[in-house]
Amino acid sequence: MAWAKFDSVSVTYDGAAEPVLRPFSLSIEEGEFLLVSGSTGSGKSTLLKCLNGLVPHFTGGTVAGNVVVGGRNTRDFAPRDLADLVGYVGQDPAATFVADHVEDELAYTMENLGVPPAMMRRRVEEVIDLLALEPLRHRKLLSLSGGEQQRVAIGAVLTASPRLLVLDEPTSSLDPLGAEEVLSSLARLCHDGGLTIVVAEHRLERIVHLAERLVLVEADGSVWDDEIASGMKRSPLVPPIVQMGRTFNWSPLPLSIRNARRAAAPLRTQLAHHEQIGELNHMDGSAPSREHKREYSREYSSQPALTFTQMTTSWESREVVNGLTLSLGAGEILALMGRNGSGKSTVLACAAGQKLPTGGTVRLGEHDPAALKGRQLLASVGLVPQDPGLLLYTSSVEQECVRSDMESGLMPGTTAARLEVIHPQLDIHAHPRDLSEGQRLALALAVVTAHQPQVLLLDEPTRGCDYLTKARLAALLREMVQHGVAVLLATHDVELAAGLADRVAVLSHGELIANDCVREVVRHSPTLAPQVAKILSPLDLLTMDEVTEALTERGTLQ
């Protein structure tokens, strides 16, 4: 007997010509761990919101068929009436906060459900331990980083002890170790405690080894499901580990690093031989091997585009960044990494002139960013924050593009053309608030990058983006740096950093602890290494593109 069930369900929003979800049926058993995948804007969030009644009670629209959860038809029960059964965390967790401090937020739902005080205290402590929230328990919610807010939002629904946990992009703002800790804890609740979990996630490399079943939402709104390994064999969206397994026909298809390393043993031997030949050629004065090409592929300007000198910043008497000295050259891509709350977003805010340092200096070329105004500021620096909605003010995508062109003095259609590169065929009549998180990000990226600022600052630029959108973004950034733009991106996306960045700087508690070429920083790191590096270690390969190139150079892969 299914605990939750979609029976011939379709969803059509008011004014839409086509349904966002076409008729489908799906049964969810108690204690299952389901992964919902699909391209940016395909309808994953709509599917999730059907499970707690947000669709249609909050969003509007027409729902055909029935969604039944724990014996309750969501057509007849509002989200508040399902709160004891379904815990839901959306893409913007901060939007759901009602309290000022972490502990109060963790207890809020239980207060509304009438949970006895003694039990409330016990559950709060259990969740704090489960999600490692002890350092945050007395903090103000507004003082937390995006990733810290995400963990608190998950904790706030877990304290109510729901039987079904629904999470929309739960690791999008979490650092790699934090994401692993949270997902492992949730998997333990699922396997040992019978909690049913449904997760929509774009960073499949973080979760595919934990899920039991894949639910894929196609671009046209059709939905299918399959056992996770079988689903990954035919899914158009796959993480590097699956891409590698499909490329080399590994059977069974590995979904964990451990199993992939076992399957990759012959490949490592083959690639090690190629690497040795490449090193010998390099010693003989021949062209450098593939491992050396990327580091010497582009000359950076000797004149820094962005410089931090002994910069220190504070927030409510708490030091956030301590004595940062770092520079970024024109035409360089620098990935700023580190755990949640390490100060990455603060560094970007200071570079954009939005926050003043309490010590030291920040310079855009020779200018103080805080002193720049109007079009001079737009031409010098562009910042895309973690919440792209902060940059969007009008009532349609088309109006945002027109406003961007006018404010930046660009030729009409410039921003729209840039948006088409990043996210083709986005509905120009849609209101920005009705877009998915990834679609809003694409629009904000188009607005900021259209005027080609000298320094581009991106805070979690792949949040809510599928692999294809990420590839388009990477191609755009490579093109921009060829024209001298300097790119500083704060990211937890290790796959993006490995495939795109020239250099990686790592912050820990506001202090710079690493600053070197991407290979030196991420290759042997247990938390920052991409999947390919872990599978092929100790070889000097970071991405599938590098593996393919290495084999193609030796005529092994056609």
* pLDDT single digits (tens) 222-246: 999 999 999 999 999 999 999 999 9
pLDDT at 144: 87
> At how many degrees (to 10) do helices 146-158 and 117-130 cross?
140
Q: What is the mean pLDDT of the chain?
A: 90
Q: What is the mean pLDDT of residues 194-205?
A: 95
What integer pLDDT is reported at residue 173 of this predicted model?
Answer: 86
Beta strands 4-12 and 21-28 are antiparallel
**pLDDT value at position 454?**
95
According to DSSP, residue 464 is labeled T
pLDDT at 272 (0 to 100): 87
- Owner of token pair 């449904």: 198
Q: Are 136 and 148 in contact (CB under 8 A)?
A: yes
Question: What pLDDT does residue 277 have?
Answer: 53
Are 203 and 364 in contact, with CB atoms under 8 Å apart?
Answer: no
- pLDDT at position 553: 75
Q: What percent of the chain has pLDDT over 90?
A: 76
Cα separation, 322 vs 512, whole angstroms: 8
Distances in Å between the alpha carbon of 417 and those of 401, 425, 556? 9, 11, 40
1: helix, coil or strand?
coil
Output the six-digit token pair for 380. 């010098």
Amino acid letter, 222 = S
Structure tokens at 103: 């502990």
* Residue bearing tokens 């490949």: 267
Instruction: State whether residue 449 is helix, strand or coil.
Output: helix
* Structural domains of the chain sorted by starting position, each given as residue range(s) with its CATH number in brackets: 4-241 (3.40.50.300), 297-522 (3.40.50.300)
Of 274 and 143, which is predicted with more confidence? 143
Half-sphere exposure of 28 (CA within 13 A, CB side): 29
Per DSSP, the residues of 4-61 read EEEEEEEEE-TT-SS-SEEEEEEEE-TT-EEEEEESTTSSHHHHHHHTTTHHHHTT--
Residue 53 has pLDDT above 70, yes or no: yes
Please compute Rg for the chain using Cα positions: 24
At residue 288, the pLDDT reads 43
pLDDT at 286 over 80: no
488-512 average pLDDT score? 96
Strands (E), 381-509: 381-384, 455-459, 486-490, 503-508
- Averaged pLDDT for residues 117-143: 92
CB proximity list for 399: less than 8 A, separation 6 or greater: none
Please name which of 105, 203, 200, 212 lies closest in space to residue 154, comparing C-alpha atoms.
Answer: 105
User: What's at 255, amino acid-wise?
Assistant: L
Residue labelled with tokens 């931090």? 308
Query: What count of other Cβ atoms lies within 10 Å of the Cβ of residue 268?
Result: 16
pLDDT over 50 at 284, yes or no:
no
Termini Cα distance of the chain: 49
- Calculate mean pLDDT across residues 57-84: 93
| SS3 letters across 213-228 | EEEEECCCCCEEEEEH
User: Can you tell me the distance from the alpha carbon of 252 to that of 262, in angstroms, rounded to the nearest whole number?
Assistant: 11
Can you spell out the DSSP letters for 61-123?
Answer: -EEEEEEEETTEETTTS-GGGGTTTEEEE-S-GGGG--SSBHHHHHHHHHHHHT--HHHHHHH
Parallel, antiparallel, or unpaired: how do β-strands 381-384 and 304-315 relate?
A: unpaired
Three-state SS across 345-383? HHHHHHHCCCCCCCEEEEEECCECHHHCCHHHHHHHEEE
Quickly tell me which residue has 């390099």 as its tokens.
282
Provide the pLDDT for residue 556: 62
Residue 184 token pair: 């492992």
pLDDT (0 to 100) of residue 554: 65
**pLDDT band at 275, cuts 50/70/90?**
low
Q: Which residues contact 233 (CB under 8 A, 6 or more apart)?
A: 246, 253
Q: 391 is written with which tokens?
A: 């940059």
Helical axes 437-449 vs 414-422, angle rounded to 10°: 140
pLDDT digits (tens, 9 = 90+) for 298-352: 455 557 999 999 999 988 778 899 999 999 999 999 999 999 989 999 999 999 9
Q: What's the pTM?
A: 0.90
Query: Would you say 394 and 432 are in contact if contact means Cβ atoms under 8 Å apart?
Result: yes
Backbone angles phi, psi at 5, to 5 degrees: -150, 135
Average pLDDT over residues 178-201: 91
Q: Give DSSP secondary structure letters for 229-264.
A: HHHHHH-S---HHHHHHHHTT-SSPP-SHHHHHHHT
pLDDT of residue 113: 86
Cβ atoms of residues 518 and 333 within 8 Å? no
Over the stretch 438-475, which tens digit does the pLDDT of each residue have? 899 999 999 999 989 999 999 999 988 999 999 999 99
Q: Give whole-number Cα distances, 372 to 380, 446, 448, in Å.
A: 8, 22, 16
> Lowest-pLDDT range, 271-280, 459-468, 536-545, 547-556?
271-280
Interval 536-556 mean pLDDT = 87
Contact 211, 228 (CB under 8 A): yes
Distance CA 359, CA 427 (A): 45
Coil, helix or strand at residue 323: strand
